[in-house]
Amino acid sequence: MERERTCEPPILPAALAERIAGRAWSRDTVGEAGCAVWRLHRPGAADYYLKQGDGARTADILDEATRLRWLAGRLPVPAVRHLTVDGDAAWLLTDAIAGPTAWQALDARPGRRGEVVDALADFLRRIHALPVDRCPFEAGHALRLAHARDRLEAGEIDESDFGEDHAGWSAARLWEEITTLLPFDAGRVVTHGDYSLDNIVMAEGGVAGCLDVGRLGVADPHQDVAILWECLGEFDAELRERFLARIGIAAVNERRLRFHLMLDECF
């Protein structure tokens, strides 16, 4: 699948347009999650990424900017270069982290997929080791359930975007299945919130950094485990087992795994 395409720039706030003038634009075609994402490039200069959201997505942009600033110095994340709110729209300009995404690395080098998975597991352990008592962001499933319920009642859950396991389901059925899995004992660590292959940038020998941290906060570690476990199945089921072993999980908790995968469909 084409993961980005060249495009013309949108209408921009004046201060932002001046800052990024003269760059070529490419639109991201994966993982936008309700926001528009562009890569801005110019020969001889480092790339930028620009994310734009309006309406309810304005808050998502502000959440991401806040978390990026908190993570600076704690984890390798893009530096915030510009943030503006113009009417009901928000624009976030960040540095690009050089390197392929984890999805690209797995796709390009089948013989080294094990090394990539080991690096992803090691980096996730690094995220989960951040001190919970110093993280100001709550992202537990009780809060996410409340947001999901709001989206369900507002008709904002995109049933056409459900994964293979839930294809053809209604949002109401998804919600019913989610609630049957409650309650369960959840852990409490700092989580990325959307630890997918397209949100991790690789460097030779490891992870260069992570992207899309707007959902970062204290939550059940299976929130992250479930999403990466699901992504790895696209390549090889054995990679799932390698990931679990590397992160120190002898056997995945099926209840928590199913819960987080279904809850993620709501966003």
| Alpha carbon 37 to its chain's center | 13
**pLDDT value at residue 30:** 75
Residue 208: predicted pLDDT: 98
The more confident residue out of 197 and 34 is 197
Whole-prediction pTM value? 0.93
Architecture of the domain delimited by 102-264: Alpha-Beta Complex (3.90)
In the set 28, 60, 194, 212, the catalytic residue is: 194
Domain ranges in the chain are 4-95, 102-264
pLDDT of residue 29 exceeding 90, the answer is: no
Query: Quick check: helix, strand or coil at residue 20?
Result: coil
Give the tokens for residue 102: 């984890």
User: Which residues touch 82 (CB under 8 Å, ≥6 apart)?
Assistant: 15, 16, 19, 91, 92, 93
Mean residue pLDDT of the chain comes to 94
Confidence at residue 86, expressed as pLDDT on a 0 to 100 scale: 85
Give the pLDDT confidence score for residue 251 in this predicted structure.
80
Q: Give the tens place of pLDDT for each residue, 199-230.
A: 999 998 899 999 999 999 999 999 999 999 99
264 is catalytic: no
What pLDDT is stored for residue 31 in this prediction? 59
Q: Which class is domain 4-95? A: alpha beta
